[in-house]
Amino acid sequence: MLTILVAGSFFFPGLFVLSKRCLKRVPGLRWSEGDAVIVSARLVSSIQAIMASSAGYIIASSCEDIIEDQHWLTSSYILFAVPYFVYDIYAMFMCYWHKLRVKGHEDGSAPRDLRTAFSSYLRREFLMVLHHVVMVTVCFPVSVFWRQGKGDYFQGVMFLAELSTPSVCLGKILIQYKQQHTLLHKVNGCLMLVTFFICRVLLFPYLYYAYSRYASIPFYMVPLMVPWQYNLGAGLLMAPQVYWFSLICRGAFRLFTRAPRAPPSAPSSIAKVDLDGSATQLSPANGYSPQETERETDTH
């Protein structure tokens, strides 16, 4: 157990550092520190998502009995991925810090010190940081110890929620470099909308449906039959997904209903526009801000 935790603790930060150095030094790229940090953070998130969804598919497809069947990969990947959520809080802050500095250069205001910036980051990204903290302090012990080896199928299906992450990350990168006028951005936006809805919103009703079939009871009776802790946990995990999905829908609606506009002449480093093409302020770390104000920069 400790070996897997240590491996994850080195893998995700190490991949972030390696990616950042490559983006800054590879001939033809040589990106700035800020650009390299932001893109590297999204690259690591995408790789973790691919690994998690692959593990989820293997686990779910191998469990015939959705309650009793076990797969060694379930607990192993949970242990490996826990350090990712700790690392990602740091990576999101670094993205926020670099974009705050860029905004300070653009409007003439000096960037704040790290301590003040971190306090601002915690206030602005409270929901995302809380989500990561809950994953480590609540979901981790529940998944590894409290389950007592039961329900690996459900855990595998939960891993499949990460299928939506690569399209979210690609969308942020395209927006960062002001490519929201391109066909790729619109196609990716549709993919993000569909995958997020299926993998993160419909996921929880599906878990209830799967149990209703297993227990041979009506779907609507499942919440009354399972322990209240399961209903509470599902509700707390689903609520932010529904909120973020509503923001994605609003952004997608503006994207496909706005008047066509010419592509930008020269993308600026780090600074970007929102999904609808209008300039806004610093957006939340999840990148789903529906606001349209002066100017925006985005973090993961």
pLDDT band at 239 (very low <50, low <70, confident <90, very high): very high
Query: Does residue 289 sit within a domain?
Result: no
Residue 273 has pLDDT above 80, yes or no: no
SS3 labels along 94-124: HHHHHHHHHHHHHHCCCCCCHHHHHHHHHHH
Query: Does residue 282 sit within a domain?
Result: no
User: Residue 246: which residues within 8 A CB-CB, separation 6 or more?
Assistant: none
pLDDT at 291: 41
pLDDT at 39: 92
Residue 275 has pLDDT above 90, yes or no: no
Residue reference for tokens 């925006």: 296
Domain limits for position 233: 2-255
Quick one: average pLDDT of 119-128? 89
Query: Does residue 272 sit within a domain?
Result: no
**Mean pLDDT across the chain, nearest whole number?**
82
pLDDT digits (tens, 9 = 90+) for 48-65: 999 999 999 999 999 999
Do residues 297 and 178 lie in contact, with contact meaning Cβ atoms separated by under 8 Å? no
pLDDT digits (tens, 9 = 90+) for 91-116: 999 988 888 877 654 444 555 577 88
Under DSSP, the state recorded for 293 is S
Query: Does residue 48 sit within a domain?
Result: yes
Count of structural domains, the chain? 1
For the whole model, what pTM was predicted? 0.81
Across 91-105, 148-162, 205-219, least confident range = 91-105
